[in-house]
Structure 1
Amino acid sequence: MSAIDALLHGAIDLHTHSGPSPMPRRLTHVEAARQADEAGFRAILVKCHYHSTVTDVLAMAPELAGIRTQVLGGLALNSVAGGLNVHAVDLALRMGGRLVWFPTISSAAHLAHAREHERTKAHFQPLGMRAQDEVRVTDDHGEVLPVAQEIIAMTRDAGAITSTGHLGAEEATAIVEAAHAAGQRRVLVSHPNYIAGIDHDLARHLASLGAVFEHEIGMYHSGTLFGLDVLLDWIREVGPEHTIIGSDLGQEGNPLPIEGYRRLLPRLLDSGVTERDVRRMIGGNQAVLLGLD
């Protein structure tokens, strides 16, 4: 067994983009689970910007039977799901959902990015779908909306993860601070340097409140958006204890999720990141967030 094979045993991917999805995918949740199982992954969490993946996973239960990798789902609070819809959150959590993303493609930051980048706009309107409406989580004074506070409490009580989604820096900060005040200790900030616009100084503040930062392989493989030096800087700035690595893969035109890990991990090791820290960032921290450890 190679060093990379050994590291992947027990890994957890909280950002698998398998299907069904209105966006073109290379593999289904079942196929993603089988590939993860072959690599020794402990769990994967499948994500869709347009619908709850909790019911996807339940519907595929017969096909997932016998696969050792646990497959989990969640809900993104975009306008297509009713925005900050407590009923949708309640349903997802009661049916086993483990992660609730505050607005991703409906955040002000994402919509602003799409207005400036035609490729982003086209990518997130598959099948000729309507553009998403903005979903706000704060009022005009920057205070977290009561309904957002309620959703934070719901995820806390269910032992699920609260994610800041694609919120911009100010809204993401408000959500992390509100979650900390509410006693929610499972808080995730995805790709802080993409769309969110979170810098290292702000990240250290959010880390002090318990936030964990997710960096996506899909943004670092082959220099897609960022060079490896950017990821290494983030790991140094907030520490591996506040860093997780997810694939954000499964789309057509990109590597498969497991391929992404196999490409990135040797580069991290060659750059001086220890096996212990790699293992923590691809599995240990995720297990804590999910309550598995």
Structure 2
Amino acid sequence: MHLNINQAELISICPDPVIAINRRGVISVFNTSAENLLGYSADQVIGNMSIRQIYPSDAEAKKIMRMMMDESFYGPGRVEGYETYVLNSNRDRVPIRLSAAVLMKQGVYRGSVGFFHDMTRQKTLENTLLKQSITDDLSGLFNQRHFYVQVSSEMMRVKRYGGELSLVCIDLDGFKQVNDKLGHLEGDQIVRQIGRVLRDGLRESDQAFRYGGDEFMLLLPNTSRDDACCLADRVRQLFNMECNYSPDAFHRGAVTVSMSLGVASCNSAEPVDFFVQRADMAMYSAKQAGGNCVKQFTSGHM
């Protein structure tokens, strides 16, 4: 059976946005799917709008054109599956996968045509899966695996550019008694509460992690050891205000929960494990001092 469908009809029913440009870069084809993706009508853009206006920058538009013209990328005159962003009518970024081809006539460049596959759902799913892989479900904080990735990255940054980096190690005093006497559900509630306290008590550049069990880490870029001690003590006070079992709370139970916090600053020449160990040693010093306090690492801990 022969289907009598012309080129314009095929473009109009294509589920992916199809955008073509003339040799001056002005849009000459803009199908219904392109209208839906970008929020422009075909009448607005055809013959009026440059393709560069829908890319995030002139540099990105030029890069795509260079790739189409360079045979070493995808082959002569085309791009296949290139991921980038386009800007919709609200100037919001929309992730797309672009496949495009140069249009030639008798050896002369006449323009190009591209298929702009919407990647919004896929990118949202990828971001969701990534977040799940680096987040502790109970506390809502980052997990230990992501902790080591971020510490390594920040220590490399300090080594390359200088600056200060501090680490706070937090361990709960009395948490085992909560689980033993009040049950694990109450212990889970305290872990959730710590997650809220740490998120509320930190600056935007800081990061909080559940290291494991009742141990937590705070990574503080561009922060001296003294400033980190001040922030750590503020976190301790916030926790005491929020927790029903803290030494400052009015309760009659046999369980008391507080924080022991240890602070160390980064020596860019040291391995990651040494940095973490120094913060851990300072935390144990706080425990030995009776808990509910902040101690910083000194050479006396060695």
TM-score when normalising by structure 1: 0.21
Higher relative contact order (CA 8 A, sep 6+): 1
Higher strand share: 2
Q: Choose 1 or 2 for highest CA Rg.
A: 2
Higher helix share: 1
